[in-house]
Structure 1
Amino acid sequence: MTALEESVRPGQFFHIQCSDDWRNLLRRPFSVYKFDRRTRILEFLYLIKGSGTQALMKKRPGEMLDMIGPLGKPFSLPAGDASILLAARGVGVATLHALAQAVPAEGRRAIAIVSAQKRDDLLAVDDLRQSGAQVYAVTDEDGTSTMDQVGKLAEMLIEDYGISAVYTCGSKRLAKLMQNLATIHNLYAEIAMEAHMACGLGDCYACACPIRKEKGIEAVRICSEGPVFPLRQAVLS
């Protein structure tokens, strides 16, 4: 964690140099997990997978961390104070936790569906609850994470809590489900897209992805034109 002077908004990310090793010449993007506006402390949540996150894991308190940010387009909320639905799988919950942390100040409540393969793989459930979110955990292990089951759960939550907006990250199948539900119920909806990045500043197009626009499908840069997009625009093949 680190203290930060700049304003940070949910959905934005930081491009971090994990080490000086030649294997980690490219920075890695990490979405904002927590940001305390009083202490200016910033936190990230990540899974240890490749050489970059393995090197980052070895950092110790007091060490300097070279990073660029905050970057990217943040989440936005529709007018009013109705509850919002968050739907995430795996580490995608990191991006949505920052939103759950911010909405109580707007007089709103966050309802979260958190999905994972196993119960032990569920992330951020306790932090979401501490932020005031109502959390529903579903897993492959319990047989509760099928799209049919999650769809029924989401339908119930939309009706019971008067959901006005949906936000998703971490799974194309889950995003497709939320996309369909948002269309059926005429809900405001956004998605935080994920991609490998090189520059993180919009110069190299390494993170380009297809998005539906008025004139058809176009390639956009997730780092600069996203990572947050209207869910209706997402191409989820």
Structure 2
Amino acid sequence: MPDTAAPSMRPVSAEPAGVLSHTALNAEYRHLVLRAGPRATAARPGQFFQLLCPAPPGEAPFLRRPMSLYGADTAAGTVEFLYKVTGAGTRGLATLSPGDELDIMGPLGRGFALDRGWRNIVVVGRGAGLATLAPLARAARAAGIGVTALLSARRPELVVSEALFREEGAEVIAVTDAEGTSGPAHAERLLRGLVAEGRADAFLTCGSARLLRVQQRLAREFGIPGQVAMEQQMACGLGMCFCCVRDFEVEGETVHRRVCWDGPVFDMLEAVA
């Protein structure tokens, strides 16, 4: 199950973080590495930060921008983010250079939780979900859990976390729209194969409602647990503004939960895709 720590027990702070590197991975995604304090670098897979983005020329972002954790290393003192320039906040982020400072608040939310009884998990992501799921590669390896990563994107060059998963010993299956391999029917065939081989003790996913529905169907059919990191517009990130409320189905009833505070990682079978 996802992180069950009481919200009041989750330490969070805002602090300046120094830009160590900032590079373009491809035509869409940029990789930002920051030097940060021990609280930030202890962030767990699935958690996020609220970034106080600098103002790009002629614009003034009003709120912090939520950003999923792409990597955290306590020994190195670093946190990493992977993002795509889509609005004023990320246009401001794109102006940062090594040596600059960025105010970050976090870690926030409930992250993924790995059950030590699992031997093999399946990680399924698409688009921005590939960044959110990336920290699971290292965490699973440290826990002695094997990983098969089904990574979906529009084009092969946009499968941004493929190398990271492979470096941590995961088997990667990349599917893309351009190659005609990313449809739900093909994904279901691949996932059924992994279930038949005993390599799917759990599903962990983010980034695609269509793929989420496939996994929910298989989870119910085979009794497989799962967790999903939900993507949602956020304002405060602290559960106070209620702008990120979504519906969930719990024991046959519809309940309302705040993605930033009660999540962003939830039981996969409770999510309404």
TM (norm. structure 1) is 0.95
Partners of 1:106 and 1:229 in 2: CA distance: 21
Query: Which ranges in structure 2 are unaligned for 5 or more consecutive residues?
Result: 1-33
Partners of 2:216 and 2:60 in 1: CA distance: 38
Residue aligned with 1:45, SS: strand
Residue aligned with 1:74, SS: coil
Q: Cα offset for 1:40?
A: 2.4
Q: Cα offset for 1:3?
A: 2.4
Query: Which ranges in structure 1 are unaligned for 5 or more consecutive residues?
Result: none
Partners of 1:96 and 1:53 in 2: CA distance: 20
214-223 or 164-173: bigger deviation: 214-223
Write the deviation string for residues 120-150 of structure 1: whole angstroms up to 9, x where unpaired. Answer: 2221111111122110000111111111101
- Please report the RMSD computed on the Cα atoms of aligned residues, expressed in angstroms: 1.4
Partners of 2:99 and 2:260 in 1: CA distance: 29
Partners of 2:252 and 2:196 in 1: CA distance: 34
After TM superposition, which residue ranges in structure 1, 4 or more long, deviate above 6 angstroms? none
1:8 equivalent in structure 2:
43
Write the deviation string for residues 195-221 of structure 1: whole angstroms up to 9, x where unpaired. Answer: 111111000011111111236112211
Partners of 2:198 and 2:70 in 1: CA distance: 25
| Percent identity of equivalent pairs | 39
Contact 2:108 2:260 in 1 (8 A): yes
1:166 equivalent in structure 2:
203
Contact 1:209 1:220 in 2 (8 A): yes
**1:197 pairs with 2:230:** no
Residue aligned with 1:23, SS: coil
106-115 or 77-86: bigger deviation: 77-86
2:178 equivalent in structure 1:
141
2:147 equivalent in structure 1:
110
Partners of 2:265 and 2:199 in 1: CA distance: 23
Write the deviation string for residues 90-110 of structure 1: whole angstroms up to 9, x where unpaired. Answer: 121111111112111111111
- How many residues are matched? 236
Partners of 1:4 and 1:212 in 2: CA distance: 38
Within the candidate set 144, 149, 169, 1:132 is matched to 169
Letter in 2 for 1:67: I
